[in-house]
Amino acid sequence: MLELRLVQGSLLKKVLEAIKDLVNDANFDCSATGFSLQAMDSSHVALVALLLRSEGFEHYRCDRNLSMGMNLGNMAKMLKCAGNDDIITLKADDGSDTVTFMFESPTQDKISDFEMKLMDIDSEHLGIPEAEYHAIVRMPSSEFGRICKDLSSIGDTVVISVTKEGVKFSTRGDIGTANIVCRQNNTVDKPEEATIIEMTEPVSLTFALRYMNSFTKATPLSSIVTLSLSSDLPVVVEYKIAEMGYIRFYLAPKIEE
């Protein structure tokens, strides 16, 4: 028996909007730790890792570890039917091939339930090794989203270079080139507007903008994004989900042949 009650149901709506275009089908894993997902896109270039900790739910009952295969497009369709202020409860019985989403309006005057078919998904669970990153950039998520969108109108790839001076996002395309430098500024009034760079050595990596733009669909989940970069390692683009956990995107770099 599984029963997860999330008072801030909009979080789950936002999570699905953030990942449904990257991954078609995925297993949601439910354990005492929380509700999690790890899935790669079909070309094995990007991976999304989601964790919503059990403590973040108002009610969290998961009698035994359960893996539920869901089509994320269909799940997003169902969650779109929940109001932004609704409380969302996920329910599944042991051995059932369906999951039920229950939506309650804040005033309890409208209660809906949507039952979705589960699917069997063969997915490989990857071990993500702990890594020491050469550079960690923390910046406003809206700024990062704007940069990725702007650069993708010029080129297909972005070179992210971190030095003591700041973080540089560069692209080139048929019409020309673009460079955007964000300097460290931790003296702003609001912490969510700061750009903070921790660097042990300079790093420069090239990534496909198509994926970066897809990751920025998680912007509504957090005002801050963290980019963790090391030479020859996938970048980690992390959006923390307040009080609950995180959504992390891993993207393999482009490599000179």
Partner 1 sequence: PPKQGTLNKFFAGN
- Applying CB under 8 A, the residues found at the interface with partner 1 are 40, 43-47, 124-129, 157, 206, 208, 233-234, 250, 252-257
Least separation in angstroms between CB 225 and partner 1: 20
32: its two tokens: 């005492």
Find, among 203, 147, 206, 218, the residue nearest to 178 by Cα.
147
Least separation in angstroms between CB 220 and partner 1: 26
Nearer to partner 1, 98 or 177 (CB): 177
132: its two tokens: 């020491």
Least separation in angstroms between CB 172 and partner 1: 10
Tell whether the torsion through CA atoms of 151, 157, 162 and 163 is positive or negative: negative
Nearer to partner 1, 66 or 205 (CB): 205
Least separation in angstroms between CB 102 and partner 1: 34
Least separation in angstroms between CB 22 and partner 1: 13
Whether 5 and 15 have beta carbons less than 8 Å apart is answered as no
Task: Tell me the CA distances in angstroms from 17 to 52, 106, 236, one per residue in order.
Answer: 15, 22, 19
Nearer to partner 1, 189 or 256 (CB): 256
Nearer to partner 1, 10 or 152 (CB): 152
Whether 52 and 14 have beta carbons less than 8 Å apart is answered as no
Task: State the pairing for strand pair 46-53/157-163.
Answer: unpaired
